[in-house]
Every structure is written in structure tokens, then in C-alpha cells.
């Protein structure tokens, strides 16, 4: 049975807009998975060191037959193919970041995967594009998206670009 999944997409290196576009095309090619919709692109300041470029962010909605860990493996393969190197440093610039934000209504918490994505409930660059896709969604254990957006949010959204990432 297909599961509705939301994927956070971010980049601030090597032509970020093109990185997002290529990532969305690759999401559409994951086996047993269908890309349903993609939000607009949101520009945000980095959460990490301030001496890096602003990020471009979006959220994609998928339907997948894959188990959550198999989907994670597919996302990490896309990141690797687009030049992502995992060096252990958090919140540093990167070519591509793909995060499972929500996997149906499931809560997963193990060594390799935490869903809902930790911190998503207070990050503007996640909540605004997620709300664009589903204004009625709730984050398990955190609340309704509209209530979450009313809280103090991190990662200031500077603007929404008029770009379409759908393949």
C-alpha cells in the first residue's frame, strides 16, 4: 500500500536552483514511488555558519511503496550522485540535502532515521513549503501546521521564488 511522504529539499552550493531541479527529477525516478507535487522554492538564511550562501528550499510530496529505510537509501544515493559529501559537520553548505519530513503518520526513531524530521516543526523553510502543499496537515506529536507557523520559527524565509520544479 502506498504511503504519502513529504521530502525536504535544500541546496546552497553549485547552482542551487539546478540542484533542486535535478533532485526533483531524480525523486520522480525512484522505483515504486510517484512524485505528486512540489512546492515553490523558498530562499532562507543558513542555520549554520553565517559565512555561507543563502539556501534554496522546497518540499516534495511523494507516494511510495518503499519502506522508510529503503526510501532513505534512495534519497542518500541521489544526494551522493549530486555531489553531497557527508563529513560529519552539521549545518554547513551542501550541494543537496534531502530529508524525510513525514512518512505517512508514522513515528520512526532509530539510529538511521527519525521521522517526523527533528526540528521541522520550528523551521520556516520547511513549514511554509509544506503548508503550500497541504494546509490541513498535522505533524505527529507537534500539532497542526497553521499552529506551528504561528510559533517562533528558525531559518528565516527571505522570499518565495516564482519557479516551477515539476519535471
155: pLDDT strictly greater than 90: no
Question: Torsions phi, psi of 139, nearest 5?
Answer: -95, 115
Dihedral, 102, 75, 60, 18 alpha carbons, nearest 10: 150
Confidence of residue 129 (pLDDT cuts 50, 70, 90): very high
Which CATH class, in words, describes the domain spanning 3-161?
Answer: alpha beta
Catalytic-labelled residue, pool 21, 45, 99, 123: 99
pTM over 0.85: yes
- pLDDT cut 70: percent of the chain above it: 94
Please indicate whether residue 84 is annotated as part of the active site: yes
Rounded mean pLDDT of 44-66?
91
Please indicate whether residue 94 is annotated as part of the active site: yes
Q: Distances from the Cα of 33 to the Cαs of 55, 85, 137, 146, 162, in angstroms?
A: 26, 25, 21, 28, 26
Residue 55, pLDDT score: 92
Grid cell locating 10 = 535544500
CA distance 16 to 1: 34
Q: Strand, coil or helix: what is 121?
A: helix
Catalytic-labelled residue, pool 94, 110, 111, 162: 94
Q: So where are the chain's domains?
A: 3-161
Catalytic-labelled residue, pool 84, 111, 112, 123: 84
What confidence tens digit (pLDDT) does each residue in 84-96 have? 777 666 667 888 9
Catalytic-labelled residue, pool 21, 45, 97, 123: 97
Q: Distances from the Cα of 138 to the Cαs of 37, 88, 132, in angstroms?
A: 18, 31, 13
Residue 141, pLDDT score: 92
Amino acid at each position: 500500500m502506498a504511503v504519502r511522504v513529504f521530502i525536504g529539499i535544500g541546496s546552497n552550493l553549485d547552482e542551487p536552483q539546478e540542484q533542486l531541479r535535478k533532485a526533483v527529477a531524480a525523486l520522480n525516478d525512484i522505483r515504486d514511488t510517484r512524485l505528486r507535487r512540489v512546492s515553490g522554492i523558498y530562499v532562507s538564511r543558513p542555520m549554520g555558519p553565517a559565512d555561507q550562501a543563502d539556501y534554496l528550499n522546497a518540499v516534495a510530496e511523494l507516494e511510495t511503496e518503499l519502506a522508510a529505510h529503503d526510501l532513505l537509501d534512495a534519497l542518500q544515493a541521489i544526494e551522493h550522485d549530486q555531489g553531497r559529501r557527508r563529513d560529519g559537520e552539521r549545518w554547513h553548505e551542501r550541494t543537496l540535502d534531502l530529508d524525510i519530513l513525514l512518512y505517512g503518520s508514522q513515528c520512526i526513531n532509530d539510529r538511521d532515521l527519525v521521522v517526523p524530521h527533528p526540528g521541522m516543526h520550528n523551521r520556516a523553510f520547511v513549514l511554509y513549503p509544506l503548508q503550500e502543499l497541504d494546509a490541513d496537515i498535522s505533524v505527529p506529536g507537534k500539532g497542526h501546521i497553521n499552529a506551528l507557523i504561528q510559533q517562533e520559527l528558525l531559518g528565516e524565509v527571505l522570499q518565495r521564488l516564482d519557479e516551477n520544479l515539476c519535471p
